Structure 1
């Protein structure tokens, strides 16, 4: 790693500089490679100097999340609540995709950080400003889950490996799988498959995300118009 410049070494060390440098390191090398020692080296200080600004690695990760999530645009967008919510969620998705490690760290947190709470508050506020009741908004936020921050936890972290068509016996393996799992095979063959998607080889992550988001928002709107209320006894009432 390149030595910090003289100007960087002379810059006063503060919490914001520590966090933003850590974000840049994670963006460049992944969260797994980030350590307090490496961060101190990048900043041109001894590791103990960092602990004046972050108590430990967990506090560092929380602060890094706040830097990233705090940059999500929460300005009013669109003509109605659906447009506003959609814009904020897709804005969150764009922001988190620019920092590939952030969703992984978010999933590891036991409680939301201040910036995450502020983002959630802005989305809840958009639903409430649109006239959705507290009752419906409560269930809406459960339905959105991690999607409110622009990512989803898929059934599998990565798609299953497909047999190599050039490998001996691959044709028989594919035929056997199609016999055992005909509906899976039907869907798998419905699109041209290539690699790199978390929702299945050949799937367009962005399209699938927006498809599900729009279905949810349309459903929320329908329930709102119907005056939907929960039963108060643990189950929904239509």
Structure 2
């Protein structure tokens, strides 16, 4: 009788669980992701997952750890301005790979070690560039969510909970004409620059607009640093 060879079962560990969760979220989005659905993907019973993550909230925190670790480390030979720019754009590429990540990042109430490491190193790039602690504090406020590769855009297309762009009905010519008559200023700036690779809305290229605002901020930070700006000098008199 021929001997039946059984493939050895792959041992489940925390890293395998998290990698599978990230891959599954990339495929189906974050809302349908559940401990039961993840267990099915891994070919185990749901209880097997609870040895590695306590619940879905802990799973989401750990998934954030995985994707934030994908962001490139600071470039050792670049000045502060180039280093910050490269880091932020790397974070943006990470978000493009994982469309579900933005709402998850926004919903986290605790900072995990990898998230804190990223924040720590970003602050360190400004301090290493000679920025005062005072200026760096305000710089981080101004940078805000852009540090993670996203920002709330003025003409942003609504997205679902999984980060996917929601389909939008195309306005009819008569509607566009009526809108332009009612809101001529909005119509004028909305059509100011047409880009074929827009994924935000008509007339906007989200990558261009993101980098434009990022460079605007970095140039402003540089000017304040070069002039020795201090919040004590800028504070209004009481």
Q: Which structure ranks higher in relative contact order (CA pairs < 8 Å, sequence separation ≥ 6)?
A: 2
Q: Is the 8 A contact 2:198 2:206 kept in 1?
A: no
Deviations 1:117-138 (A, max 9, x none): 1111111110000000110000
Q: Is the 8 A contact 2:195 2:203 kept in 1?
A: yes
Q: CA RMSD in A?
A: 2.3
- Give structure 2 stretches of 5+ with no counterpart: 1-5, 159-167
What's the CA shift for 1:105? 0.5
Matches within 5 A, 1:89-238: 89-155=88-154, 157-158=156-157, 163-165=171-173, 170=174, 173-192=175-194, 197-198=199-200, 200-231=201-232, 235=235
Q: Is the 8 A contact 2:195 2:205 kept in 1?
A: no
Q: Are the structure 2 counterparts of residues 100 and 118 from structure 1 closer, same or farther at C-alpha, using a change threshold of 3 Å?
A: same
What's the CA shift for 1:110? 1.4
Deviations 1:186-206 (A, max 9, x none): 1123233779633x3231111
What's the CA shift for 1:157? 4.6
Give the aligned partner of residue 3 of structure 2: none
Equivalenced residues, count: 223
Deviations 1:153-193 (A, max 9, x none): 2246517865223xxxx2xx333322221101111232337
- Give structure 1 stretches of 5+ with no counterpart: 1-5
